[in-house]
Amino acid sequence: ADPDPLQDFCIADLDAQPSLNGFPCKPASNVTSDDFFFDGLSKEGSTGNIFGSNVTAANVLAFPGLNTLGLSMNRVDFAPGAVNPPHIHPRSTELVLVVKGKLLVGFVTTGFVYHSKVVTAGEIFVIPRGLVHFQKNVGKGKALSFTAFDSQLPGVVILPLTLFGSTPPIPNDVLTKGFQVDEDVVKAIKSKFGN
């Protein structure tokens, strides 16, 4: 969903001031083959957190060679039982490729229809841009997936952290009314996310 480039490539100069869209290019005379290479998705991420999952991002900030090319990729590692919690990518559709294990992948449309599949090695599932989605490891062991995006920087809005872990926090009365629960429920959730 990113704009089309007007030149072959434009390796991001991440130290430069971001421009209207993306980053300025580093000088062409300094470009080498290494600028088109990234090995950061080769290693398993640490899943020692409350969700049991870990996203390693190969977006333009990690891999400057993607600047202006309109695509990027994540590696997502899952411990047994892990969840990649409900989240949104404001700028990108997502294609989930499961490489190992078994994931329940689901999203909800703007009309509140829930779509989901159990996806196993070699299978893919697509999540349309901007929709709330998640993955859960429903296999016996670890799971591994790679996700592809049609944006160099898809962005991510993680719902539990956004709603209950913001700085400063969203007022409790907004959340109690919004979710139709008592304040102790809101406080209990907030406490899990640093509020």
Give the contact letters, 92-131, x = binds to Mn ion (CB under 5 A), - = no.
Answer: --x-------------------------------------
Q: Which does 98 bind (CB under 5 to 8 A by kind): Mn ion, ligand GLV, none?
A: none
Please report how close the Cβ of residue 76 comes to ligand GLV at its closest, in angstroms: 5
**Identified binder of ligand GLV from the candidate list 94, 101, 107, 137, rule CB under 6 A:** 94
Non-local (6+) Cβ contacts of 64 within 8 A are 11, 12, 13, 14, 23, 26, 35
Please report how close the Cβ of residue 135 comes to Mn ion at its closest, in angstroms: 8
Sheet holding 114-120, edge to edge: 114-120, 102-108, 132-137, 83-88, 157-158
The first and second tokens of residue 146, run together, are 């790679």
Identify the burial level of 114 via C-beta atoms within 10 angstroms of its C-beta, where 0-12 means exposed, 13-18 middle and 19 or more buried. Answer: exposed
Non-local (6+) Cβ contacts of 39 within 8 A are none
Identify the burial level of 42 via C-beta atoms within 10 angstroms of its C-beta, where 0-12 means exposed, 13-18 middle and 19 or more buried. Answer: exposed
Sheet holding 143-149, edge to edge: 53-58, 72-78, 143-149, 94-100, 124-127
Give the contact letters, 46-85, x = binds to ligand GLV (CB under 6 A), - = no.
Answer: ---------x------------------x-x-------x-
Please report how close the Cβ of residue 146 comes to ligand GLV at its closest, in angstroms: 8
Residue among 55 and 62 whose Cβ is closer to ligand GLV: 55
Please report how close the Cβ of residue 150 comes to Mn ion at its closest, in angstroms: 13
Residue among 31 and 108 whose Cβ is closer to Mn ion: 108
Residue among 77 and 94 whose Cβ is closer to Mn ion: 94
Task: Catalog residues that contact ligand GLV under the rule CB under 6 A.
Answer: 55, 74, 76, 84, 94, 133, 135, 147
Binding-site ranges for Mn ion (CB under 5 A): 94
